[in-house]
Structure 1
Amino acid sequence: MSHVLEVDNVSAAYRKNKVLDQVTFAVEQGTLTGIVGPNGAGKSTLIKTLLQLHPSLGGNVTFFGHSLKAEKTRVGYVPQRGSVDWDFPTNALDVVMMGLYQKIGWFKWPMRRHKEKAFEALEKVGMGAFAERQISQLSGGQQQRVFLARALIQEADLYFMDEPFAGVDASTEKAIMTILKELKNNGKTVLVVHHDLQTVQDYFDQVLLLNKSVIAHGPTQQVFNAETIANAYGGAVRWMKEGINNGHPSLQ
């Protein structure tokens, strides 16, 4: 399997506070990776730094063996829902079509086929009936589905998703997870910032445990265990007994 993402000694800070310290890891094609760690561990900052949305203090990042600029059309990004101005006067269909602007050009008018493609993406995430609805009128889960559709329409090979399950209902979480696993099965690579330790083993085949630096990275069944979780969370985790919640960890 080939590496679609290679991260070598990447560091980053907010003002004088270092939030990423010599982060190094590589991601193989066709994997679904959960980025897990405590609050303030640098999970969202990691994604933003890799995508050059936050300045790096050093290190090197390659996408498919090249720079981000060279491979930008192959990379999709779903930001945190809370970072978006949902009062902006636009509807769900227009938001999804924004995912096509790199291909059709920012100053070119979308054609009928582009609108049809955007509507198909909305249908895929169960939002076809809301295509003309203003985004400010959508629930949190519906907004997240729209953002997922915008990423899907890019037809990227590598996706970054920052807390896609935050503030959504159970049906939306299930729908999103179905799509992520479908992407993986189609050879796409997905990295997801995730908070719920109890679903990590069910959702991801790879896990990156992060607390400013990489605590562990690899197949979930191998590296997601009591020791690595305690190291990442500073020991504030208990490992539930076998037979209770399938031995999954939970925060105390």
Structure 2
Amino acid sequence: MSVLHVENISAAYRRNTVLKNVSFTVEKGSLTGIVGPNGAGKSTLIKTLLNLHPPLNGQVYFFDSSLKRQKSRVGYVPQRGSVDWDFPTNALDVVLMGLYRRIGWLKWPKKKHKEKAMDALRKVGMEGYAKRQISQLSGGQQQRVFLARALVQDADLYFMDEPFAGVDAATERAIMTILKQLRADGKTVLVVHHDLQTVKDYFDHVLFLNKTIIAHGKTEEIFTASNITKAYGGAVHIIKEEALVDGDSSVD
């Protein structure tokens, strides 16, 4: 059974096609980096798979079923820039939002729910900021809180849209430690990522996207100069030879 199976998904904004006949399958326990140039449709892909943006055509299967039936098994961390950080709430309440399906709407969280939320904050190093208003947190701290909200769901499949954007090096390392632990626990994670230099260190699978699938598979096999050129149209320069599988740094 695949965790995620996508068949011929297409999507558009107004009359501009941003995804065209995208198909791929993700197996359990993988940590996949979704990479491609600006405007390649990476964020739109995640939103379309999660029914946050309407597809033009295609089918998506979560655990061989529909998202509606498997929604409790799916977690999502949106781009930090898409969140209203001025909303008057604290870090603990943000994490508790990830438990609303268990708590029930219009019901107060119980002690066990708060303990679970605090444990999630502890995992991301934010337990000391539980009562802090989210507007008072730094960008990296806000990202950690949203990661905690996803963790508290205890999902089997996670989507993360540029979790490293605008965070400091310490936060990036902390997030990667958590993502690798999720993989070790048998969870499956897909991450929209923009830094080609860290792909080999961070992900065991990579998906090259530029409106359609350029290549998808194990990083050691797929992360090549040839596929980078195909995805980015030659408009990228790899500084370090070791960033590539085949050692060819002549991509410019």
TM-score band by shorter chain is: over 0.9
Q: Which runs of 5 or more residues in structure 1 are unaligned?
A: none
Matched AA of 2:120: A
Deviations 1:138-175 (A, max 9, x none): 00000000000000000000000000000000000000
The CA deviation at 1:104 is: 1.4
Residue 201 of structure 1: SS of its match in structure 2? helix
Q: How many residues align?
A: 251
Corresponding residue for 2:172?
173
Q: Which residue of 2 aligns with 1:155?
A: 154
Structure 2 residue matching 1:82: 3-state secondary structure = helix
* Aligned pairs for 1:51-66 within 5 A: 51-66=50-65
Structure number with the higher strand fraction is 1
Letter matched to residue 135 of structure 1? I
Deviations 1:213-250 (A, max 9, x none): 00000000101100000000001123446469995869
1:107 shift after superposition? 1.5
Query: How far 1:3 sits from its partner (Å)?
Result: 1.1
Q: Which amino acid aligns with 1:202?
A: D
> CA separation in 2, counterparts of 1:70 and 1:250?
47
Give how far 1:106 is off. 1.4
Pair 1:29–1:248, CA change in 2 (3 A) = farther
Does the aligned pair in 2 maintain the 1:197–1:249 contact within 8 Å? no
Distance in 1 separating the partners of 2:70 and 2:240 = 45
Work out the CA distance in 1 between the residues paired with 2:130 and 2:181. Answer: 23
Partner of 1:40: 39
Does structure 1 residue 196 correspond to structure 2 residue 195?
yes
1:21 matched residue in structure 2:
20
Aligned equivalent of 1:95: 94
TM-score by length of 2: 0.96
Say whether 1:105 aligns with 2:104: yes
* Contact 1:23 1:213 survives alignment (8 Å): yes
- Written as runs of structure 1 = structure 2, the 5 A alignment for 1:5-20 is 5-20=4-19
- Provide the rounded CA distance (Å) in 1 between the counterparts of 2:59 and 2:220: 29
- In 2, Cα distance between equivalents of 1:249 and 1:126: 37
Cα distance in 2 between the residues matched to 1:47 and 1:25: 13
After superposing the two structures, state which structure 1 stretch, 107-116 or 139-148, moved more: 107-116
Write out aligned runs for 1:105-124 (5 A).
Answer: 105-124=104-123
The reply to whether residue 79 of structure 1 matches residue 48 of structure 2 is: no
Task: For residue 251 of structure 1, report the CA deviation from its aligned partner.
Answer: 8.0
Q: Cα gap change, 1:250/1:149 in structure 2, threshold over 3 Å: closer, same or farther? A: farther
Q: Which moved more, 1:18-27 or 1:101-110?
A: 101-110
Letter in 2 for 1:104: I
TM score, norm. by length of structure 1: 0.96
Contact 1:197-1:248 at 8 Å conserved across structures: no
Give, in whole Å, the separation in 1 of the partners of 2:125 and 2:22.
37
Distance 1:251 1:195 in 2: 16
Letter in 1 for 2:108: W
Change (3 A) 1:64 1:108: same
CA contact (8 A) 2:28 2:187 kept: yes
